[in-house]
Structure 1
Amino acid sequence: MTELLMKLSIALFFGLLIGIDRQLKHKPLGLKTSMVICVASCLVTIVSVESFHRFATPMFNNMDPMRLAAQIVSGVGFLGAGVILRKRNDVISGLTTAAMIWAASGLGIAVGAGFYIEAGYMVVLLMLAINVFPQLVKKVGPSSLRQRDVAVKMVMEPNMRMTELIQSIERKTSMAKKGSDIRIRHLKLKDLENGNQQVELILSAPEKQYTTEIYYLIKKIDHVLTVDVEHL
C-alpha cells in the first residue's frame, strides 16, 4: 500500500517539474495540467497491474480485467477534447478541465476495481495540484512564473518610426510599476485600407499589474488612435 501511494506522489512531483518547464516557456501545457495527467496516468496503470493479481485465478490466469476499463479512458477522451478551445491570438484554453475530466474517469475505474485508498489519495493530490502547488511555485519560483499574457491591438497613424514606438511601449509599461518586467513576446504589423497601421502585441506582464494601467499608458503614446487590451 505504501509503495502505491509513493508512486502517486512521485508522479505528481514529476508532473510538477514538467509543468514548471512548460510554464517558464509560456506553453499551453502548464503546472495544473501536467500534474493532473501524471497522477491520473499513474493511478490507471496501478489499477491495471494490480487488478490482474487481484482478480486472476489459476484457471483463468490470462484474463484481462481492465480491458473494458481501457475503453472508458478512450471514450472519455472525446469529452475532454470537447472542452479544449482555441481562441483568437492562438490562445488555447480548457486543457486543465479536459485533464480533470480524464482524471475523473480514472477515479471511477479505481473505485470500481476496489482501490478505495488509492482513489482517495489521488483526490487529495489533485486538489493540491490545482489549488496549492501552482500558487506555492509562483511565490518561490522565478519571476516569469508570476507573469500573465496580455493581448494588445492598436490602430496607429501612418508613420516611419514604428521601431521607436515599440520601444516606447516597452519603456512606458515598464515604468508603470517599479521593478516590473514587461516584455513583448509576439508582434504583428498590418496595413489597413484607410492607410493606418494595425499593431498586434502579446505582452508578458506581472500578475499584479492591472490591465487598465497598460491600456492608459499605451493610449497616451503618440500616433495611437485606438487601443484594445485583453487579458488572456
Structure 2
Amino acid sequence: MELLIKLSLALLFGLLIGIDRQLKHKPLGLKTSMVICVASCLITITSIEAAYNFPKMEHMMMDPMRLAAQIVSGVGFLGAGVILRRNNDVISGLTTAAMIWAASALGIAVGAGFFLEASYAVVLLILSVNVLPALVKRFGPLALSQRDVAVKIVMEPNLKMTELLESIERRSHTLKEKKNFDINIRNIKLKDLENGNQQIDLTISAPEKQYTTEIYYLIKKIDHVLTVDVEHL
C-alpha cells in the first residue's frame, strides 16, 4: 500500500507540473511530466527495495540509490530535446528543460519516502515560475519588466539609417501618452541585399504591456521603410 501511495503522489506532482507548462503552451505537457515523475518514482522504489530485499552476497554491498542516480543523467537527454535555438540566435526552452529535471527529482524524492520534502518542493517550484517573477517585475527595477523584441527592417537604398534609429527610439504620438513606454535599441546588425535594398536587424527592449503591433506600426510609418518583421522573443 505504501508503494502505491508513492506512485499516486508522484502522479499528482507530475500533474501539477504538467498543468503549469500546459497553460503556458510549453513543450512539456501533462503526459510527459506525469510519465517522468511516475517512472522516476518507480525506478527509485525498485532500487531501494532491491537493495534491502535481495540477499547480500559476501563482500558485496548494494547501493540503494544507484538506479536513482542514473535517472538524473537520463532525464538530461529529455531536457536537451526541448531547448531550441531560433534563427535569431535566441535560446528558448530552458525553463521547460529545468522543469523536466525537477519532475524527475520529485519522483525520486517520493520514491525514497520524502513526502513532506517533495510536497514543499512542488510549492516552491510553482511559486518560482509563476508568482515570484511577477512580483520581482512589479516591484523591482524597470529593466526587469521589459521584454526583448526582434525587428527585421528592409529599407530603400538611402543614407538615413541613423535617422531611422533615432526615429525608432523616439516615442510615437500614441506612446507619448503612456508612462514608461520607451523603446531602447540593444543590438544592431546591418546587411546589404542583392536587390540593392538594405536590411537592419534590431533587438529592442520594450515594456511587457506594450503591444507588438504598436512597435510594428511605429516603424512601418517611417520613411523609406519597405517591410517590417517583428517577433516577440
TM-score, L = length of structure 1? 0.71
Q: What SS is found at the alignment partner of 1:195?
A: coil
Distance 2:142 2:59 in 1: 57
CA contact (8 A) 1:180 1:206 kept: yes
Corresponding residue of 1:200: 201
1:23-62 → structure 2 map (5 Å cutoff): none
Distance 1:230 1:174 in 2: 22
Q: How many residues align?
A: 178
Corresponding residue of 1:68: 67
2:115 maps to a residue whose letter is Y
Corresponding residue of 2:229: 228
Q: What SS is found at the alignment partner of 1:118?
A: helix
Q: 1:125 to 1:222 in 2, by over 3 A?
A: same
CA contact (8 A) 2:169 2:184 kept: yes
CA contact (8 A) 1:151 1:231 kept: yes
Distance 2:136 2:59 in 1: 48
Corresponding residue of 2:119: 120
Segments of 5+ residues of structure 1 without an aligned counterpart are 1-46
2:99 maps to a residue whose letter is M
Corresponding residue of 1:94: 93
Q: 1:229 Cα shift?
A: 0.9
Corresponding residue of 2:137: 138
CA contact (8 A) 2:153 2:227 kept: yes
Q: 1:178 to 1:69 in 2, by over 3 A?
A: same
CA contact (8 A) 1:174 1:182 kept: no
Q: Which structure: larger Rg?
A: 2
Q: Does 1:216 align with 2:217?
A: yes
Distance 1:74 1:181 in 2: 45
CA contact (8 A) 2:171 2:182 kept: no
TM-score, L = length of structure 2? 0.71
CA contact (8 A) 1:170 1:184 kept: yes
Corresponding residue of 2:191: 190
Q: 1:175 Cα shift?
A: 6.8
Q: 1:178 Cα shift?
A: 3.6
CA contact (8 A) 1:174 1:181 kept: no
4+ long deviations beyond 6 Å: 59-62
1:18-38 deviation line (CA, Å, top 9, x unaligned): xxxxxxxxxxxxxxxxxxxxx
Q: What SS is found at the alignment partner of 1:172?
A: coil
CA contact (8 A) 1:79 1:98 kept: yes
Q: What SS is found at the alignment partner of 1:64?
A: coil
Cα-Cα RMSD: 2.4
